[in-house]
Every structure is written in C-alpha cells, then in structure tokens.
C-alpha cells in the first residue's frame, strides 16, 4: 500500500490546481485520471467547442462581408479537416501544458487509471492500493442518452464525439434545445449544414425568461435553423441515406443526429458505497457548504457535486477548498453568485436571478431593458440582434440579476457580475464613466431606466 497526504481522483478544473497547491505546502499527492488531464473543458468542452465556434463565425463573417464593403469572389468553402485539426491543436496544447507542469512538480504522482474506493481512506487503481487521510473527487460528468425509441439502432453523436467530425453533415438534427445543443446547431449551420433543433419543452433554453428564449429562437431562425419545440413521441430509424427523426408533428430526414439532452455525473463506478459516500437520486455527490461529503476526509468538487456545471464553478470549488483547508479561511459555496454564458452569436451573458425568479422571491423589483439596436457599438459593427436586461431590488437598491443577449454580451456582463459581488448598489454604478464607444457604456443608461413592476 502506498501512502499519500492526499489523493485527488479526476483531473478536471478543480483537482489539478488543488493538488498543485497541496504540493506547494510540501504534501505528497497522488492525482489519478482515467482518461485525459484537463477534464471536459480542455478535451471535450469549452476549449475545442469555442475553437469550433470561432471557425464558424469566421465563415459567417466571410459570407456576409459584402455588407461591409468587402467583396470575396466565389463561394465560401469549409475544410472540416482543418477546422477539426485546429480545435484538436488547441486541446493538445492545453493538455500537454498540464503534463509538463506536473512533470516538473516534486511531490506529485500522476497515475493514469480508473480509481475505486476500497474504504473511506483507501482506493485501488491499476492493481495497486493507495491510502490518504484526505481524498478529493473531481470526476466530472458525461452526456446522458435518453431512452427513446430507436436510439440504440442509430449512430448518434454526443457533445464529446461531434468535435471529432472531419466532414460536414448534410443535415444535422439536434435533440435538445438547451445550451450545448444550441451552440452546435448554430455552429454547423454556419459551416453549411442544414440544421433542425428538436426540443421537448415549449421553449429553447428553458432556464431563461421567456423573452430571452424567444430572442434566442429568433436569432437561430434568422440563420435558417429549423426549430421544433413542444416535440413529443421522438423516435429514430435508419433510412437509406441517413436517419429519420420522427416526432408527433414532424419528420426530419437527417444525415447525423446530435443528442444533447443533458449530462450525468461520473459517480456510478467509483465504489462510493464502499466509502459510505452519499449521492442524490441523480447520482450527484451530496456536499455541504464547504464541499465536504458526509464522510470525514472526503470532498467532491466540480460537476460531480451538482453545485455547478461550469468550468468556472469547478475552479471556484478548488478556490473554496484550498482557502478553507490550506489558508485557514472560511469560504462557502452559498456565497457564490452564479453567472454563465451561452456561446451562440450573439452570445448571452447571465448573472443572478431571472425575472421569473425575482418575481417569485417576494422582493419589490425594478426592471429595465434596452434593445441592442439602441447601442452605438452594435450599430457600428452591424450586429444589433438581442437586448440587455437588468433586475434590481427597489428597497435595497442591489442588482438581483441581468441578462445581456447581444454583441460581446459574455464580456459586458462582467461589469454587473463584479458589481454584484462587491455589493455595489445600482445608483452607485450609474455614476461610473465607461469608455466610448463600447457596449458596456450602456450599463449606466440601462440602470437609469429601471422602473418598478
């Protein structure tokens, strides 16, 4: 049996950085990863997909360049092999960077293999047994495949496998109208494929307010994407030239099917029962406000704990654990203000409450909206789709939430994120003097238009 000061299982966006911090404290740490260092973000999520989004935007800009006085003769052609290779290069550079970083770190033992608990202080991997007083789980999540008729009879794609396509689908059917599905839908439409989105619910991006969902649908439809919401009785069958996707109201002749209906945690094969670690009904590991499980000496970080499903929340889990365990701090998950983005074009930046949540909270609220067509930077760039929206508490003057669907919305939202984290009231933020011409310069104007509801 090999002994360590700590064992980290999973090398996503929390585990490796926590392991490095512990090594800095002269601890002996084992980092176990069954597949690739970097987890979903580096290998199958943010980095490759946003690289693909950038290629798709380049194609879109080139096709529409005449409107800016730039004439490109001939048809815009897409080389999917080059597109794929570019995304793979970005991934490999990041992954190899982690490999090199760990290789030069005394006290770090990186093990490639599948770890399972033997008891609360012991795990087995590759036939060896390891023990440590502290064990951290950062095992991530994977796509979930719904039990739909015919799904096991077709060669479907997931968000993990589609990034390896090196040829353009004739017609991509996207099952699921949430964030992952929407990004791939617009991306492949811009590459030149026909695209259909099939969503069981009444709206796309159902987490958002209806006005945001409707605006997202308008953006996608304007680019020629076929949207089917409220779809039921979804079934699949092989056809002579691809896959038939049938619903209660539509029949789609697709060449490829992307299933993007959610994700589930990678917790079902860790031997958690041997350690006594409790999970909820969906398989997420139950943790307290400081990310500790019900078993002393075991913590769960990142997607597998159900307290966030983003790279930045996973990294923040590392920050919370490191601050509490290594720096004598007392940080809590409940102090985190949730923010995220949807990387369609234009992007959606979101923070805090939706309007629906704010109305349900019982607060006296104020709301302001502003179309991007009234933003100078958007007009100068010729990208005026979407709108800005902010919600505030009429009594405390604190900002409760905001959504910016529009050009650079994923960046502009950070002004509001920072204000919310600092506890700044909206009247104080109104007195900032932003740079012109930017999208952010309209935040004080947006706040000045807040009206009670």
387 alpha-carbon distance from chain centroid: 22
303 annotated ligand-binding residue: yes
In the chain, what is the straight-line distance between the N-terminal and C-terminal CA atoms, in Å? 64
Angle at 442 between CA 437 and CA 444, to 5 degrees: 130
Structure token pair of residue 308:
């966030």
Question: Is 436 in the active site?
Answer: yes
Nearest Cα neighbor of 192 from 255, 238, 261, 250 is: 255
180 is in an annotated binding site: yes
To 5 degrees, how large is the angle CA 8–CA 101–CA 83?
Answer: 100
**CA of 407: how far to CAs of 102, 383, 413, in Å?**
38, 6, 11
Q: Establish whether 199 is an annotated binding residue.
A: yes
The answer on whether 111 is annotated among ligand-binding residues is: no
- The answer to whether the annotation marks 178 as part of a ligand binding site is yes
CA dihedral (95, 96, 99, 105) in degrees, to 10, reads -120
182 is in an annotated binding site: yes
The residue from 164, 200, 414, 436 that is catalytic is 436
> Cα–chain-centroid distance for residue 421?
21
408 is in an annotated binding site: no
386 in a labelled binding site:
no
Q: Are strands 348-352 and 339-342 parallel, antiparallel or unpaired?
A: antiparallel
Confirm or deny that 406 is annotated as ligand binding.
no
C-alpha angle 270-275-276 in degrees, rounded to nearest 5? 110
Helix (H) or strand (E) holding 409: helix 409-422
Query: Strands (DSSP E) along 60-170, which ranges?
Result: 108-112, 116-119, 122-125, 128-131, 134-137, 141-143
251 membership: H or E segment, kind and range: strand 251-254
* Token digits of residue 94: 């990041």
> Is 39 annotated to bind ligand?
no
Residue 165 in contact with residue 88, Cβ under 8 Å? no
CA distance 424 to 427: 8
Burial 367-388 (b: 16+ CB within 10 A, else e): bbebebeebebbeebebbbbbb
Binding-site residues for NAD(+): 176-183, 199, 262
The binding site for FAD comprises: 50, 303
Q: Where is the binding site, in residues?
A: 50, 176-183, 199, 262, 303
Query: Could you give the residue numbers annotated as active site?
Result: 436
């Amino acid at each position: 049996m090999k002994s360590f000061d700590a064992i980290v299982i999973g090398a996503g966006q929390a585990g490796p950085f926590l392991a490095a911090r512990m090594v800095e404290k002269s601890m002996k740490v084992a980092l176990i990863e069954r597949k690739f260092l970097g987890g979903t973000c580096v290998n199958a999520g943010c980095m490759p997909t946003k690289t693909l989004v950038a290629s798709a935007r380049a194609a879109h800009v080139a096709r529409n360049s005449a409107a800016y006085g730039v004439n490109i003769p001939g048809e815009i052609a897409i080389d999917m092999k080059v597109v794929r290779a570019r995304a793979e290069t970005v991934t490999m550079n990041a992954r190899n960077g982690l490999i090199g970083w760990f290789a030069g770190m005394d006290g770090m033992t990186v093990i490639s293999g599948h770890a399972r608990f033997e008891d609360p202080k012991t795990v087995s991997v590759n036939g060896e047994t390891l023990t440590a007083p502290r064990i951290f789980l950062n095992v991530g999540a994977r796509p979930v495949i719904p039990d739909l008729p015919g799904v096991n009879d077709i060669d479907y794609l997931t968000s993990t496998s589609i990034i390896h396509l090196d040829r353009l689908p004739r017609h991509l059917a996207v099952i699921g109208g949430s964030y992952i599905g929407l990004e791939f839908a617009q991306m492949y439409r811009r590459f030149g494929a026909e695209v259909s989105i099939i969503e069981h619910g009444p709206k796309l991006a159902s987490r958002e307010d209806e006005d945001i969902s409707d605006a997202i649908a308008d953006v996608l439809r304007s680019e020629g994407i076929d949207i089917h919401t409220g779809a039921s009785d979804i079934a699949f069958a092989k056809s002579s030239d691809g896959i038939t996707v049938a619903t209660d109201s539509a029949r789609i002749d697709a060449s490829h099917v992307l299933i993007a209906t959610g994700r589930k945690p990678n917790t079902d094969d860790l031997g958690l029962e041997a350690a006594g670690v409790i999970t909820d009904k969906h398989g997420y590991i139950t943790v307290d406000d400081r990310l500790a499980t019900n078993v002393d000496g075991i913590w769960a970080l990142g997607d597998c704990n159900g307290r966030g499903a983003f790279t930045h929340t996973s990294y923040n889990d590392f920050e919370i654990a490191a601050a509490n365990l290594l720096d004598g701090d007392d940080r809590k998950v409940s102090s985190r203000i949730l923010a995220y983005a949807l990387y369609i074009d234009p992007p959606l930046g979101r923070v805090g409450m939706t309007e629906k949540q704010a109305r349900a909270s019982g607060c006296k609220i104020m709301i302001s909206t502003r179309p991007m067509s009234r933003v100078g930077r958007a007009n100068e760039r010729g990208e005026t789709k979407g709108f800005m929206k902010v919600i505030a508490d009429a009594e405390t003057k604190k900002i409760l939430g905001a959504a910016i669907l529009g050009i650079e919305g994923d960046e502009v939202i950070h002004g509001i994120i920072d204000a919310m984290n600092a506890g700044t009231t909206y009247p104080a933020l109104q007195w900032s003097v932003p740079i012109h011409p930017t999208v952010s310069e309209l935040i004080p104007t947006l706040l000045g238009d807040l009206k009670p509801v």
